[in-house]
């Protein structure tokens, strides 16, 4: 029996090793769009192997048992797997690209909720555990709960169901809540009030409240950073679960998610020229647009017709397309790719300038264009795009706003001052496609619209692009 048990443990450990390796390989492959899909499948395959290895090979000794036993309740386990798989698959297939950030937030929140539930169950099963085990349980519960509650609020804000709301004295309230969490955690860990599970559940309630108040005041334009930060929280909470169960694959996955989320958060902050502290306590994205007369004071904007736009691009040497959230809203990525192909047939070089925080989540524009099979080599990162901007004849901006706003460079009073932008004014001509003159996601007027090189092409991005394709084919 003991020999059989050792044999099973060795097989399970090898399965966990395979799972950990696939996670690392998958993450590495996710760094390049051409291999990202394959990397995602490899990591998913490793996760499937680890899950079924745990279900069928995991053995443990319960209190009072002399012989190790495997998992029970297979009906509940497989029911959960089937229901979750069906819901996840249907949601992923039906979600529109405009709703992808909300889905990412919600899925991330579910990871935090899982970590929270693990801690609740383990505390209920062993409320008198050692200080080390209790510390892991409490930390996993706090971080998982904050991630879950914060992700739900982020989902609501991205979906337009919850508005930015700054609570008077909010920072002080958050500090007091955080201090209360620490004090209660010390009481639980030190067993100062034995037999009082209410303290543990009070930590849960305060952590949930902190998660809500933590995300609620953060401005809309900072949401990509918040999503990335909450993602790192979920990873850390999952890593604590790995410690709790002495599970290498769970620990590896949590560490990878936590570290990758943290690095991405720092990169997002750098791309916006903001510190994480300013994102969390500042009001970037919360600034409101000025009165209607403010736009007029900047000067008159000029419009351009579809025919003139088509002629301008058809006789250009290089055209750079700047995608933004408006492109995603119109679901115009495929039409944009068609425009690119029509221009290339006329001998025009077409590239895309990608700002790292364009859209509603990190990499939003990359995912959007990848869905339309736009070649990766045509996607230029911000620095490379700016280097090539001077040799570009026409820049076509499709629904992007804040990431091309000159106020980030010219106006010290602007909330986005200091944020690196795509310097489109270096090009010969700038065509901006928008539905109207309303401000972008950050709620800030865009000076670019009133500059001499800029022409406005109003309308839904998909309809405008379809019309441009028709005009170009007729030239």
If you write DSSP's letter for every residue of 200-247 in order, what string do you get?
HHHHHHHHHHHHHHHHTTS-GGGHHHHHHHHHHHHHHHHHHHHHHHT-
d(CA 214, CA 217): 7
**Residues 6+ positions from 470 with CB-CB distance below 8 Å:** none
Dihedral sign (CA 30, 33, 39, 44)? positive
**Whether the Cβ atoms of residue 269 and residue 226 lie closer than 8 Å to each other:** no
- Tokens 């029996």 sit on residue: 1
Catalytic residue among 402, 410, 411, 460: 402
* Region of residue 353 (phi > 0: left; psi between -120 and 50: alpha; otherwise: beta): beta
d(CA 397, CA 431): 6
The yes-or-no answer on residue 402 being catalytic is yes
Q: Which helix (H) or strand (E) holds 155?
A: helix 131-158
Among 413, 24, 443, 53, which residue's Cα sits nearest to residue 255? 24
d(CA 158, CA 107): 14
Q: In what order do the strands lie in the sheet with 379-381?
A: 379-381, 349-354, 318-323, 394-398, 429-434, 454-458
| DSSP-assigned letter for residue 33 | H
HSE, CB side, 13 Å, CA atoms: give it for residue 71. Answer: 14
| DSSP-assigned letter for residue 258 | H
Q: What are phi and psi of 318, to 5 degrees?
A: -140, 135
**Residues 6+ positions from 194 with CB-CB distance below 8 Å:** 128
**Whether the Cβ atoms of residue 475 and residue 315 lie closer than 8 Å to each other:** no
User: Could you tell me which residues are beta bridge partners of residue 354?
Assistant: 381
Active site residues: 402
């Amino acid at each position: 029996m003991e020999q059989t048990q050792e044999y099973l443990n060795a097989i399970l450990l090898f399965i966990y090793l395979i799972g950990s390796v696939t996670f690392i390989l998958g993450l590495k492959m996710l760094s390049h769009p051409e291999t990202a899909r394959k990397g995602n499948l490899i990591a998913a395959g490793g996760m499937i192997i680890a899950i079924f290895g745990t279900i069928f090979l995991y053995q443990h000794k319960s209190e009072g048992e002399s012989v190790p036993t495997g998992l029970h309740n297979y009906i509940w386990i497989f029911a959960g797997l089937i229901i979750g798989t069906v819901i996840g698959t249907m949601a992923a297939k039906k979600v529109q690209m405009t709703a992808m950030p909300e889905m990412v937030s919600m899925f991330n929140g579910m990871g935090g909720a899982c970590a929270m539930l693990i801690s609740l169950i383990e505390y209920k099963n062993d409320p008198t555990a050692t200080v080390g085990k209790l510390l892991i349980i409490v930390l996993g519960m706090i971080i998982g709960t904050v991630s879950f509650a914060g992700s739900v609020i982020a989902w609501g804000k991205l979906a337009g169901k919850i508005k930015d709301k700054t609570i008077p004295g909010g920072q002080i309230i958050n500090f007091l809540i955080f201090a209360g969490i620490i004090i209660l955690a010390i009481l639980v860990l030190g067993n100062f009030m034995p037999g009082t599970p209410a303290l543990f559940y009070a930590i849960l309630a305060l952590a949930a409240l902190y998660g809500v108040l933590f995300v609620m005041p953060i401005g809309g334009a900072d949401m990509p950073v918040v999503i990335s930060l909450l993602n790192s929280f979920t990873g850390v909470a999952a890593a604590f679960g790995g410690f709790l169960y002495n599970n290498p694959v769970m620990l590896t996955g949590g560490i990878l998610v936590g570290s990758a989320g943290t690095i991405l958060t720092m990169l997002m902050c750098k791309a916006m020229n903001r510190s994480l502290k300013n994102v969390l306590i500042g009001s970037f994205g919360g600034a409101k647009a000025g009165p209607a007369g403010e736009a007029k004071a900047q000067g008159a904007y000029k419009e351009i017709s579809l025919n003139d736009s088509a002629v301008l691009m058809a006789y250009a040497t290089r055209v750079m397309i700047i995608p933004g959230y408006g492109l995603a809203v119109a679901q115009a990525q495929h039409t944009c790719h068609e425009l690119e192909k029509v221009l290339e047939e006329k001998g025009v070089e077409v590239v895309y300038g990608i700002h790292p925080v364009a859209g509603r989540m990190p990499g939003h524009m990359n995912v959007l264009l990848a869905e339309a099979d736009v070649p990766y080599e045509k996607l230029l990162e911000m620095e490379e795009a700016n280097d090539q901007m001077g040799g570009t004849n026409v820049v076509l901006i499709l629904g992007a706003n804040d990431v091309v706003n000159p106020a980030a460079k010219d106006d010290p009073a602007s909330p986005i001052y200091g944020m690196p932008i795509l310097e489109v004014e270096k090009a010969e001509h700038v065509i901006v496609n928008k539905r109207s003159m309303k401000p972008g996601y950050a709620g800030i007027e865009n000076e670019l619209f009133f500059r001499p090189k800029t022409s406005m092409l109003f309308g839904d991005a998909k309809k405008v692009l379809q019309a441009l394709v028709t005009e170009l084919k007729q030239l």
